[in-house]
Amino acid sequence: MTSTIKPTETTEAPEETRAADPTALDAVLASVERPKRPSALSASLTFGWRAALKIKHLPEQLFDVTGFPIIMTVMFTYLFGGAIGGSTEAYLDYLLPGILAITVVMITMYTGVAVNSDIAKGVFDRFRTLPIWRPATIVGYLLGDFLRYLIGCVVIIGVGLIMGYNLGSVAGTVGAVALLLVFSFSLSWIWTFLGLSMRSEKTVMSVSMVALFPLTFLSNVFVQPSTMPGWLEAAVSWNPITHLVTAMRGLMSGNPDVGEIIWVLVASVVLIAGFGSATMAAYKRK
């Protein structure tokens, strides 16, 4: 007995049926109004939040604003307090504002390192294609680092109080921290410019460290400039860190030095104007 298998019949839709329906595209598109372009502030804060989230995922990177300043404060206070300040208590009052300043200033270099790292990974190219305010990416890096700066300030002041630091003025201490944040923000533009200009993050870090070590240690952080040779005292007196630390000491002791505060603010404006413009020019060329 033989069976016959009939071939499956296929029916093709008529040509007019298979033609695209002109209303089909409108049906699948959203009928709501197109979202507005984010403002410059909104875009900058978003990228700042992105930078802050890196701390959440890699909390060990906070060692430089927690462990390092604690070691520096304890070590220098008890090693040199008696020899330099006459007592550890007196030297701690002199040292703490300086430790606060150099800790935050030293970590400003990580802004440039982060920029260079994103460039190497190709993330930066994606940011440049987004319909946002162009400098928002750069400003976001700087805003994100503010959290690191604040954590470092809280840790150092807390350790100082435990060790017996004589806090002369709470309001002045808040003002000193604010002044430090303003100066650190302006200094970060230098490293951001380097991050855009150099080929690797290791190079950015190396150049930053070479510049920061003499800037921070050849200052009045640890000793009075009057104890130095004349030529070195003159060089230290022109160091921006010296003016910053002097202004912070005055504020934290309750005796603000208006002249030094103005000097630091003017220097911050000059740094932002100069290196901010250079950074934006390098960003457009990149």
Q: What is the pLDDT of residues 199-227, one digit of tens each?
A: 888 888 888 888 888 888 889 999 888 88
Q: Is 31 helix (H, G, I), strand (E, B) or coil?
A: coil
Q: Which domain holds residue 245?
A: 62-285
pLDDT for the residue 1:
47
- Residue 55 near residue 62, CB atoms below 8 Å: yes
- pTM confidence score: 0.79
Specify the number of domains making up the chain.
1
- Kindly report, residue by residue over 223-277, the tens digit of the pLDDT: 888 888 889 889 899 999 999 999 999 999 889 999 999 999 999 999 999 998 8
Specify if 17 maps to a domain.
no
Task: State yes or no: pLDDT of 16 exceeds 60.
Answer: no
Which letter, b or e, does each residue of 165-181 get, where b requires 16 or more Cβ atoms within 10 Å of its Cβ?
beeebeebbebbbebbb
pLDDT for the residue 244:
95
Specify if 11 maps to a domain.
no
Specify if 126 maps to a domain.
yes
Specify if 90 maps to a domain.
yes
Specify if 23 maps to a domain.
no
Task: State yes or no: pLDDT of 7 exceeds 70.
Answer: no
pLDDT for the residue 243:
94
Specify if 279 maps to a domain.
yes
- Kindly report, residue by residue over 120-152, the tens digit of the pLDDT: 888 877 887 788 887 788 888 888 888 888 888
Specify if 51 maps to a domain.
no
Specify if 22 maps to a domain.
no
Q: What is the DSSP letter of 220?
A: S
